Amino acid sequence: MKPLPPDPGPRPLRAVVADDERLMREQLCHRLREVCPGLEIVAEARNGREAVDLTREHAPDVVFLDIRMPGLTGIEAAREIAQLPTYAETGDTPADWPGCEIVFVTAHDQYAIDAFEQGAVDYLLKPAERERLARTMDRVRERIHQRRTASESTRGQAPGADPASPGSSDAPNDAAQDSSPGAPPLAIHTPALQGLLQRLAGELSLPTRPRLRWIQASSGNGLQLIPVDEVLFFMADEKYTRVRTATQETLIRKPIKELVEELDSEVFWQIHRSTVVNLRAIAKVIRDGDGRPRIRLRDCPEVLEVSRNHSGLFRGM
């Protein structure tokens, strides 16, 4: 797929990317630069509160929000962003900022995905695939172009003139917060989406299915409990699964397939049919002579192989 052409408008599109996982932010930022060369990523946020503050500071055109972040979830951050004033409060904010588009990013929250589909909300699945991201950016840029065009057309109108563009005289009043009365409302400002976000915020605040927290491993005649957070990687080894931490290695009987279903998918990635790695344990992603990714770990000399089927996870790293 060819990259999208640079934005032809008076200034490039500006984006804020929010995700509490550094690798996820880097991967999404890289993909965005691939499919939208004219996009300027003005800030990266590590949590929902930072996302709101950076949106207020930089007045971007689009914000990418991971739906599960500490502080504020992406859903809660989106609701606060929708309430930000669209007029200048300081000399650093463009006086004609019309608000921003929101694109949600999620792993496997099926409830959220179903709600996004029903509400026609833009969302991406982790890790962001190039084709899906390109289609999403096409839609986002088209809506932003419509808003910019409407905003520019209303500036030259005489007082009392109808601000609505031709063919849109019945435009909804949901854009009352928008500084450009002739522009179509951002989806984030519509009552329907605000209601959807309220329901999602309640759902995400409920306790989720418990994830695996401890690994039980035999130790002589006893049982050893290993905190999952300390595990660098799991690797299938014939009838067993290797469990590697910074200080020890042990074997368990639970197969990789079962581990994948029980581990937190935002922390542990399957990089090979026989290997699952803790993202927080990754020190560096390198390439071999054939360009295939290999993973170097913190506190462990072993280099992990990434299969061809999973190499796309690290294409932007």
pLDDT in tens, 258-279: 898 788 877 888 889 899 999 9
CB 44 within 8 A of CB 17: yes
The strands making up 293-297's β-sheet, listed across from edge to edge, are 282-287, 293-297, 300-305
- Structure confidence at residue 76 (pLDDT): 85
Mean pLDDT value of segment 26-39: 90
Beta strands in 187-259 (DSSP E): 214-219, 222-227, 231-237, 240-245, 249-252
Judged by average pLDDT, the poorest of 6-15, 151-160, 286-295 is 151-160
d(CA 193, CA 216): 44
Residue-wise pLDDT tens digits, 106-143: 876 665 676 666 655 788 888 888 888 999 899 888 88
Produce one character per residue of 90-128: b if its CB has 16 or more CB atoms within 10 Å, e if not.
eeebeeebbbbbbbbbbbebeebbebbeebebbbbebbb
pLDDT above 80: residue 61:
yes
Express each pLDDT in 165-200 by its tens digit: 334 333 333 333 333 444 555 555 555 666 677 777
pLDDT at position 316 over 50? yes
Specify whether the CB–CB gap between 65 and 103 falls below 8 A. yes
Residue 44 reports pLDDT greater than 70: yes
DSSP helix/strand/coil, 307:
coil
Q: Which domains does the chain have, with CATH numbers?
A: 14-205 (3.40.50.2300), 214-314 (2.40.50.1020)
In angstroms, the CA 30 to CA 186 distance is 26
pLDDT, average across residues 238-251: 93
Instruction: Output the pLDDT for position 160.
Output: 47
| Residue 197 Cα distances to 28, 32, 49, 63, 77, angstroms | 23, 25, 17, 16, 10
C-alpha span between 206 and 112 (Å, rounded): 13
Helix (H) or strand (E) holding 29: helix 22-35
**Confidence at residue 159, expressed as pLDDT on a 0 to 100 scale:** 47
DSSP states of 77-104? HHHHHTTS-SS-SSTTS-TT----EEEE
The predicted structure's pLDDT at residue 204: 61
Query: How high is the mean pLDDT of the chain?
Result: 77
Q: What percent of the chain has pLDDT over 70?
A: 69
| Cis peptide bond upstream of 127, omega within 30 | yes
What percent of the chain is predicted at pLDDT more than 90? 30
Query: Which single residue is written with the structure tokens 């922390």?
Result: 267
Confidence of residue 79 (pLDDT cuts 50, 70, 90): confident
Per-residue pLDDT at 86 exceeds 90:
no
Res 91 pLDDT > 50: no
pLDDT of 12 > 90? The answer is no
177: Cβ contacts below 8 Å, ≥ 6 apart = 82, 83, 85, 86, 99, 189
Residue 300 or 119, more confident: 300
> Per residue in 196-232, pLDDT tens?
777 776 666 544 556 789 999 887 778 889 999 999 9
